[in-house]
Amino acid sequence: MSARDRILAKLKAAPQLPKPEPDVAAWYASHRPVETTAEKVARFRKCIEFAHADVHPVTSATWLAKLREVLTERQIDKLLVAEGTPHGDAALDELPPQGIECSTYDMPIEAWKTEMFRATPASLTAARAAIAETGTLILWPDALEPRLMSLVPPVHIVLLDSAKLYNTFYEATQTEGWKDGLPTNALLISGPSKTADIQVTLAYGAHGPKELIVLLMGDEQ
């Protein structure tokens, strides 16, 4: 008998104690408000700023200028972008003439791991959506915008459309039907990397980005 069979046999020999199915939907319906976009934007900002992210309201007309400003302020002249995405291509068109070099993630990581770790000061990705309750960005990395883009560069800049704000994580998974098709890696990001492992003193930039900058796109601002 394999370990698998032995473990399952022991569990199956235990008393059967079926329990009623929990009603998660009812709990959220009675305990979490459904807010307007403006309210969600305010809540999202409050939470993610509390977690030390910078949020800049932008519009489709101003985000590239803000992106440049954010980089210039930090004296960063190189940005990793996702070629083939609308925002990546826009950055590739606009930024190099203004003195900011744009590199692309155009080959498997094995071919340029060292460069990614040692010579990539900042990256730009989009967020798929976000969660107001906790100030959380949702990213579904893919072939165009791979996983390490939001992890290795010390400064991570995220473009978020405020129309894509959900009240809760639960609402996001239900509305988007996540259970029917999750990607290789789905990520919730709620601030820059941090730790309180030394004497419960909070320090930012533990292993991931030291700074998280959100360009919050909305037309009402």
Partner 1 sequence: MNAQPIHFKPSEGFRERAKAVVDNPFLRQSFRGAMDFLMTKRAGQFPDPEELESLRTLGEQIRQYNLGKLPELLVRLEENLTRNGIQVHWAETPEEANAIILGICQKVGAKLMVKGKSMVSEEIELNHAAEAAGIGALESDMGEYIVQLAGEKPSHIIMPAIHKTKEEIATLFHEKVPGVDYTDNVDALIQIGRKVLREKFLEADIGLSGVNFAIAETGTLCLVENEGNGRMCTTTPPIHVAITGIEKIVEQLAHVPPLLSLLTRSATGQNISTYFNMISSPRKPGEKDGPEEVHLVLLDNGRSQAYADEQLRKTLQCIRCGACMNHCPVYTRIGGHAYGTTYPGPIGKIISPHMLGLEATSTMATASSLCGACGEVCPVKIPIPELLMRLREESFSAPHENPGMRGQGAGYNGLVSFIWRAWATVYRSPALYRLATWAGSRLSWLLPSSQGPWTTVRTPLKPAPKRLRDMLKERA
Task: Indicate the residue among 90 and 204 with the shorter CB distance to partner 1.
Answer: 204
User: Distance between CA 105 and CA 103 in Å, rounded?
Assistant: 7
* Residue of 79, 81, 85, 191 that binds partner 1 (CB under 8 A): 191
Query: Torsion over CA of 66, 71, 77 and 83, rounded to 10 degrees?
Result: -60
Which of the residues 105 through 124 are near partner 1 (CB under 8 A)? 105, 107-109, 113-114, 117
Asked if residues 81 and 92 have their Cβ atoms less than 8 Å apart, the reply is: yes
- Beta-carbon contacts of 162 under 8 Å, excluding residues fewer than 6 positions away, are 37, 40, 41, 216, 217, 218
Question: Least CB distance from residue 120 to partner 1, whole Å?
Answer: 12
* Residue of 85, 125, 136, 167 that binds partner 1 (CB under 8 A): 136
- Tokens at 111, concatenated: 């071919």
Number of residues located near partner 1, criterion CB under 8 A: 78
Which of the residues 16 through 55 are near partner 1 (CB under 8 A)? 16-22, 24-25, 27-28, 30-31, 47, 51
Which of the residues 200 through 219 are near partner 1 (CB under 8 A)? 200-201, 203-209
